[in-house]
Structure 1
Amino acid sequence: MYEMTIQCVATEEAIDFCDLLAEQIARFFSVQDCDMFVLSVHEAVINSVEAIKTLRKDAAKKTFLLSLRVTEEDVTVTVVDEGDGIPSKQLERMGEESLEDLLLAESGRGLLLIKEVMDEMWLERQENGKCAIAMRMRRGRNGSSDIHS
């Protein structure tokens, strides 16, 4: 099992870094769908960065955490930020709408996308009262890494 947590300042550079990290993790540990895994992590990170920038005047100093946990069966990703959490209206929509309903919308697809393409998605309440997005995708090829692809 492998575990790591990375703390990033909420910047465009951090988004790019997390995309690169997600891609390498997905390929090295052979998740079921590498592209959808990377896209899901990207959406969660974008949501965090946008929440921080929108809600915090001192956003340049605010951070988010990206945690990865790899087991023989799956890869779990958790993203926690210093924003105000996911609005309850958005959570309600997740139960009522599908990704297809919002396909052409300007925004609001990220959580639905994650919910539909990952094997599992859930929200976690943190000790500090914040809400984290967590997601899991199974590994392929009996959990073996394929570093040659």
Structure 2
Amino acid sequence: MAAIRCLRFASSLTHVEEAVEQVIGEVKSLPWEAMDLDFIKLALIEALVNAVVHGNEGDPEKEVTLRFAVEEDHFWVEVSDQGDGFDPQSVAAFDLLSETGRGLLLIRAAMDEVTFNEKGNTIRLVKHRRAK
């Protein structure tokens, strides 16, 4: 079992890129398909932006927390915010004209497993590594 890593940062979009690069740096320790690395990065960016913008409402006094591990056959990450949470089932079906909701659609398309805690302020993403 791989070590679980934890990152925390103030709720600001300026910290998202650095957090993503730290996580992807560790994910690259395994021989992933290039497309899978792109999917992981896309989903991670979307989850972090959602946590900052929607969860913490851009409040720099609040934090975003990432817990993740790179296992031999998969990668998982949990992104948590300090917001009130939401009901993921309440997000309407994808609408091209809507200004919200696309992030969750992209996350679900990119990852193998997507779950939320009961409060709705933590998302867990899993990507399985395909055998070569």
Q: Which residue of 1 aligns with 2:89?
A: 91
Q: Which residue of 2 aligns with 1:13?
A: 14
Q: Residue 48 of structure 2: SS of its match in structure 1?
A: helix
Q: Which residue of 1 aligns with 2:125?
A: 135
Instruction: Note if contact 1:31-1:37 (Cα within 8 Å) is conserved in structure 2.
Output: no
Q: Is 1:77 aligned with 2:77?
A: yes
Instruction: Note if contact 1:26-1:38 (Cα within 8 Å) is conserved in structure 2.
Output: no
Per-residue deviation at 1:12? 2.0
Structure holding more helix per residue: 1
Task: State the number of aligned residues.
Answer: 128
TM (normalized to structure 1)? 0.74
Residue of 21, 38, 43 corresponding to 1:40: 43
Instruction: Note if contact 1:9-1:61 (Cα within 8 Å) is conserved in structure 2.
Output: yes
Q: Is 1:123 aligned with 2:116?
A: yes
What stretches of structure 2 of length at least 5 have no aligned partner?
A: none
Aligned residue runs from structure 1 range 36-75, under 5 A:
36-50=39-53, 51-53=55-57, 59-75=59-75
- The change in CA–CA distance for 1:102 and 1:30 in structure 2 (over 3 A counts) is farther
Per-residue deviation at 1:117? 1.5
Per-residue deviation at 1:140? 4.1
- Percent identity over the alignment is 25
Report the RMSD for the aligned CA atoms in angstroms. 2.1
Per-residue deviation at 1:73? 1.2
1:132 corresponds to which letter in structure 2?
T
Deviations 1:33-52 (A, max 9, x none): 01110000000000000021
- The change in CA–CA distance for 1:103 and 1:34 in structure 2 (over 3 A counts) is farther
Deviations 1:52-95 (A, max 9, x none): 125xxxx2211010111121110001001001112x3x52336x
Alpha-carbon distance in structure 2 between the residues aligned to 1:116 and 1:63? 27
TM (normalized to structure 2)? 0.83
Alpha-carbon distance in structure 1 between the residues aligned to 2:130 and 2:27? 10
- The change in CA–CA distance for 1:19 and 1:102 in structure 2 (over 3 A counts) is farther
